[in-house]
Amino acid sequence: MEQQRTPVQAKLSRKQTAYEYVKEKILSCEYEPGAMMNEQSLCDELVLSRTPVRDALSRLEQEGLVSILPKKGFVVTAMKLGDVNRIYEVRLLLEPYALRRYGHKLDRGELESLRTRMEEQITGADRFGQHDYNLDDAFHGMIMEATNNRYLIDTYENIKNLNLRIRVLSGNQVENRLDDTFQEHAAIIDACLREDWDEAAQAMTRHLENARVAAFHLLIGDEGDF
């Protein structure tokens, strides 16, 4: 028998539903950077009152994904060249280091499984779906989790949302970037499987530098922010 939710639980559930819905739309870039967000339209989409929607937008503002424009409403936070540069500066410090210092803790079976799934994505007919980005998350997340260092992991998680939007836009709009990404991932994994951690770290550095260049090209083409 299904347990009935209390009024407080129902209220929290509505707030969480609104938060997760809007956040997913922002991170997937369905709501593009710089797009205005109409509160009433969101209420209509979600079939919710203004209170949970407003709560969701306030949480997203605290996370830097939404900005408030006085007397105008909410706007999806734009991404600027400086933001991209700072994100990749952090990633270039974290991820090659994680491979050199903690790569030996990576599970070989998980690496081999990821390598196979990536190969299937490269050669498959439907190569440009959301599953591509899930694989990317799994790959980079696995490397950071291997450190078992909460401070390193939290630092990575703090930049993950903005990095996801950059990755989606550059993967969708910069020619050949998605295929190149999986080839670069494969090179990193192959080095890991050989237990050549210096080469794995160097391959990660090349991958991140290429990703940064792709993001720069995207932003510069749009006059530095969007």
- Token digits of residue 82: 């400086």
Looking at 32, 57, 76, the residue that finishes a domain is 76
Q: Is residue 43 part of a domain?
A: yes
Strand partners, 68: 74
Q: Are residues 116 and 175 part of one domain?
A: yes
Percent of the chain at pLDDT > 70 equals 84
Domain count, the chain: 2
Q: Are residues 156 and 65 part of one domain?
A: no
In this prediction, residue 109 carries a pLDDT of 96
In this prediction, residue 224 carries a pLDDT of 47
Phi/psi for 76 (5° steps) reads -65, 125
Class of residue 3 by CB neighbours under 10 A (exposed 0-12, middle 13-18, buried 19+): exposed
Q: Are residues 195 and 89 part of one domain?
A: yes
Q: Are residues 146 and 92 part of one domain?
A: yes
Q: Is residue 2 part of a domain?
A: no
Tens digit of pLDDT for each residue in 156-189? 988 887 777 877 776 555 556 777 888 899 999 9
Q: Are residues 86 and 183 part of one domain?
A: yes
CATH number of the domain encompassing residue 162: 1.20.120.530
Q: Are residues 196 and 177 part of one domain?
A: yes
Q: Are residues 99 and 60 part of one domain?
A: no
Q: Are residues 171 and 90 part of one domain?
A: yes
In this prediction, residue 222 carries a pLDDT of 52
Tens digit of pLDDT for each residue in 91-130? 999 999 999 999 999 999 999 999 998 888 777 645 544 4
Is the pLDDT score of 9 beyond 90? Answer: no
Q: Whole-angstrom Cα distance, residue 52 to residue 93? A: 38
CATH number of the domain encompassing residue 68: 1.10.10.10
Q: Are residues 42 and 88 part of one domain?
A: no
| 82 closest CA partner among 169, 177, 162 | 162
What residues make up the domain containing 64?
7-76
Q: Are residues 69 and 29 part of one domain?
A: yes
Looking at 76, 93, 118, the residue that finishes a domain is 76
Tens digit of pLDDT for each residue in 17-65? 999 999 989 888 888 888 898 888 899 999 999 899 999 999 999 888 8
Q: Is residue 128 part of a domain?
A: yes
